[in-house]
Amino acid sequence: MLYIGVDLGTSAVKLLLMDGEGKIQKIVSKEYPIFFPNPGWSEQKPEDWFVQTMEGIKELVQGADKSQVAGISFGGQMHGLVILDENDEVIRPALLWNDGRTFEECDYLNNVIGKEKLSEYTANISFTGFTAPKILWVKNKEPENFAKIRKIMLPKDYIAYKLTGVHCTDFSDASGMLLLDVKNRRWSAQMCDICGIREEMLPKLFESYECVGRLKKEIAQALGLSENVKVAAGAGDNAAAAVGTGTVGEGMCNISLGTSGTIFISSKKFGVDTYNALHAFAHADGYYHLMGCMLSAASCNKWWMEDIIGTGEYGKEQQEITGLGENHVYFLPYLMGERSPHNNPNARGTFIGMTMDTKRSDMTQAVLEGVAFALRDSLEVAKSLGIHLERTKICGGGAKSPLWKKMIANILNLKVDVIESEEGPALGGAMLAAVACGEYKNVEEAAAKIVRIVDTVDPDPALVEKYEARYQQFKEIYPACKPLFDIIKN
């Protein structure tokens, strides 16, 4: 049989066709625009996601035996608020995971309702990108739109709804809404009250590997697929990526270098970060995970390359970089504010340390290193919770860069295991579909049989030492700049 994995990312939707043995048959990618209507705001149109997903599926199955397609599932960019009216029309563009406009609502949730109560209800505190503060923002700033809301959903759930007519979500993605009682895997009545919504507006909850429904007749016809194709709930893109890199069960780690940068640590036990810097979420394997998320990772490199120095030739620019561990330029990668661990929407991108002999390649290097240092910040929080890691998997567009992987191995002092495909969330989505269709007994079995490590980047002790000294300097820059970020905020 064949399974389709849909990774509804921020830069594009990536679609992957996998056979029953886990072999990738084809990958297709379709881009859509992102809108920044005000500084710190970030929106996309759910209709664009759907149109491009449909086009992508059609292209993906072209030339394949369509009768063999048995299941579809997803990894989706998390936290985005999609709201539908009584006619199932999208009320306004989706507010995305990296949208920082909800600072007043976050302040209310964290400081008036209080972090302790939020943590008791949901296992997490509020960050500007989370869904509950976005609902409050619509309530406060666009009351006419708030009054129209009949259904609330997350980005990938909008696609599942359009494909099946079932208003559903999964526990991993629902965890990032700040509306789910993560430990007990149920909606929080207290959080619904706080946000002024009714539970019936929220999607039905499923495990990621459960079937939510089958393709609607008109959708099946449009795609040339059978109405029997099962649609599984899928997962937030980080949980799906973890499945696609075999980061399941106890104590495994995955780093995703997409638009965002995440460090994801799986656990069979529920646990919270007492410092509230890492998210405590449900995993797609039926268990839990902790995660640090930086808002701009591969997107910092893209911004530097394409918008500032004006080149798309990442590899060529990276070849100019010499002297790892010896650069005197630092870069704070906070182009969209920062989530983990600083939780500061006012933080901004910053270069520091340039001299008259600084070269363009030093600045390119600083951007790549700055992202790795910022990931290390989240790793340090995990270490302070007693979590000991020796190795990590890696995925996402940035993982295509051998140099970046080397920097990450040495800056985080972790062995970096490289998987056959960087398409973590799309592969994870296809694997979840295969589990839902009974091809594998559970997610752990699918991961054990499908995921293959093809290379490992080992940290080099001499470089680790050099980077350790540089990390100690990097750590000092954010606290020194923080008061300035508050002054220059726009």
Ligand X SMILES: O=C(CO)[C@@H](O)[C@H](O)COP(=O)(O)O
Ligand Y SMILES: Nc1ncnc2c1ncn2[C@@H]1O[C@H](COP(=O)(O)OP(=O)(O)O)[C@@H](O)[C@H]1O
> What residues does 2 pair with on adjacent strands?
19, 69
Q: Which of 9, 22, 71, 349 binds ligand X (CB under 6 A)?
A: 9
Q: Select 56 or 129, whichever has its Cβ closest to ligand X.
A: 129
Q: Which of 77, 124, 245, 378 binds ligand X (CB under 6 A)?
A: 77
Q: Which of 46, 246, 337, 396 binds ligand Y (CB under 6 A)?
A: 396
Q: What is the contact mask toward ligand X in residues 174 to 193, using x (rule: CB under 6 A)? A: --x-----------------
Task: Name the closest residue to ligand X (Cβ).
Answer: 258
Q: Which residue has the tokens 């937030």?
A: 236
155 near ligand Y, rule: CB under 6 A: no
- Answer for the pair 235, 437: CB distance below 8 angstroms, yes or no: no
Q: Which residue has the tokens 């563009």?
A: 93
Q: Which of 170, 181, 237, 422 binds ligand X (CB under 6 A)?
A: 237
3-state secondary structure of 420: coil
Q: Which of 11, 140, 190, 226 binds ligand Y (CB under 6 A)?
A: 11
Nearest approach, Cβ of residue 80 and ligand Y (Å): 12
Per-residue DSSP letters for 304-319?
Answer: IIIIIS----HHHHHH
Q: Which residue has the tokens 């084809």?
A: 26
In our burial notation (b when 16+ CB lie closer than 10 A, e otherwise), range 17-38 reads bbbeebebebbbbbebebeeee
Instruction: Choose the one of ligand X, ligand Y, none that binds residue 314, judging by a C-beta under 5 to 8 angstroms depending on kind.
Output: ligand Y
Examine the residue annotation and report whether 88 is marked as an active-site residue of this protein.
no
What one-character DSSP code corresponds to residue 96? Answer: P
Q: Is 79 annotated as a binding residue?
A: yes
Nearest approach, Cβ of residue 197 and ligand X (Å): 21
Report residue 8: phi and psi, to 5°.
Answer: -85, 85
d(CA 332, CA 300): 10
Query: Six-digit token pair at 335?
Result: 């182009």
Instruction: Choose the one of ligand X, ligand Y, none that binds residue 226, judging by a C-beta under 5 to 8 angstroms depending on kind.
Output: none
Q: Which of 56, 93, 244, 258 binds ligand Y (CB under 6 A)?
A: 258
Query: Six-digit token pair at 318?
Result: 């990276």
Q: Select 6 or 202, whichever has its Cβ closest to ligand Y.
A: 6
Q: Which DSSP helix (H) or strand (E) runs through 257?
A: strand 253-257
Report residue 423: phi and psi, to 5°.
Answer: -80, 60
| Binding positions for ligand Y, 314-343, rule CB under 6 A | 314
Segment lying near ligand X (by CB under 6 A), choices 234-242, 309-317, 365-373, 379-387: 234-242
In our burial notation (b when 16+ CB lie closer than 10 A, e otherwise), range 265-279 reads bbbeeebbbeebbbb
| Binding positions for ligand X, 250-269, rule CB under 6 A | 258-260, 262
- Answer for the pair 366, 373: CB distance below 8 angstroms, yes or no: no
> Up-side HSE of residue 252: CA atoms within 13 Å toward CB?
22
- Answer for the pair 136, 102: CB distance below 8 angstroms, yes or no: yes
Binding residues for ligand X, rule CB under 6 A, total 16
Q: Which of 46, 56, 71, 129 binds ligand X (CB under 6 A)?
A: 129
Given the residues 157, 170, 181, 237, the one annotated as active site: 237
Q: Select 174 or 295, whichever has its Cβ closest to ligand Y.
A: 295
Q: Is 305 annotated as a binding residue?
A: no
Binding residues for substrate, as ranges, are 78-79
Contacts with ligand X, residue ranges (CB under 6 A): 9-10, 77-79, 97, 129, 176, 236-238, 258-260, 262, 293
Question: Contact residues for ligand Y (CB under 6 A)?
Answer: 9-12, 258-259, 298-299, 301-302, 314, 396-398, 400-401
Could you give the residue numbers annotated as active site? 237
